[in-house]
Amino acid sequence: MTVTVDLSERVAVVTGGTRGVGAGIARAFLEAGARVVVCARRPPEKPDGGTDFRPVDLRDPEATSAAFRQVGEDYGRLDILVNNAGGSPHRLLGDADAVRHARVVELNLIAPLNASLAAYELMHRQADGGAVIMIGSVSGTRPSPGAAAYGAAKAGLDNLARTMAVEWAPARIRVNTVVLGMVRTELSHLHYGDDDGIAAIGRTVPLGRLAEPDEVGDACVFLASDRARYISGASLAVHGGGERPAYQGAKEP
């Protein structure tokens, strides 16, 4: 039996959907038949056929609300929000002041909150509610040297999602988190080096490789679909098995 997910006529917004993981998520929703709006501060370098780009700084609550109201006016509804926009440069805590670290928290926690609240204004008026998906990170549950503010924000994002799931359940809005490990994107070389470096990093993952953006998209499509209609407040790990215990690499003297 072939199992397919049909999101025809559903309207999805993917934040940060112009490249990398976000672009993979947007493609997955397009393939499932959804109408896809991607938003970011800057337009994509190459148009991604089928998506509707909207410029918005998600850190600005008024601009975010206005952008989502326009989506509602243009499409008549909003069924799915994927809070993917985020990221952080490698920066040790002592190498920057609190203001710079706060900007990382703003992008990775406050911006998803802004977008979710704007989406709620549309979704809670719909008889069938909607689905909100947070893109989390394994950095939210482990020490992350060089990305402390990012990890703290992702930890907060997971708790925010679980609380939203409880508060918004009466409005039939499901909220879940996809917890990512390492993903191979067009920017992977900045973190891991050339192809040999990426392959070496991939070998540290139990499944032997980094995730592909489209695989993250598949997880999001599932959580947004009716096949996950009773799943809310959950955290779905998409990390290839996580990390091998450090002691397995230890050698006897």
What are the distances in angstroms from CA 91 to CA 94, 98, 100, 104?
8, 12, 10, 11
Give me the residues paired with residue 51 across strands. 36
Give me the residues paired with residue 13 across strands. 37, 81
Question: Which two three-digit tokens encode residue 172?
Answer: 């039939």
The catalytically annotated residue of 150, 192, 230, 247 is: 150
Clarify whether 75 is annotated catalytic. Answer: no
The three-class DSSP label of residue 230 is coil
Say if residue 63 is exposed, middle or buried (CB neighbours under 10 Å; 0-12, 13-18, 19+): middle
Q: Report the C-alpha dihedral over residues 183, 41, 162, 227, rounded to 10 degrees.
A: -70
DSSP 37-106: EEEESS--SS--TTEEEEE--TT-HHHHHHHHHHHHHHHS---EEEE---------GGGS-HHHHHHHHI
8 A C-beta contact, residue 200 and residue 188? no
8 A C-beta contact, residue 106 and residue 54? no
Active centre residues (catalytic): 150
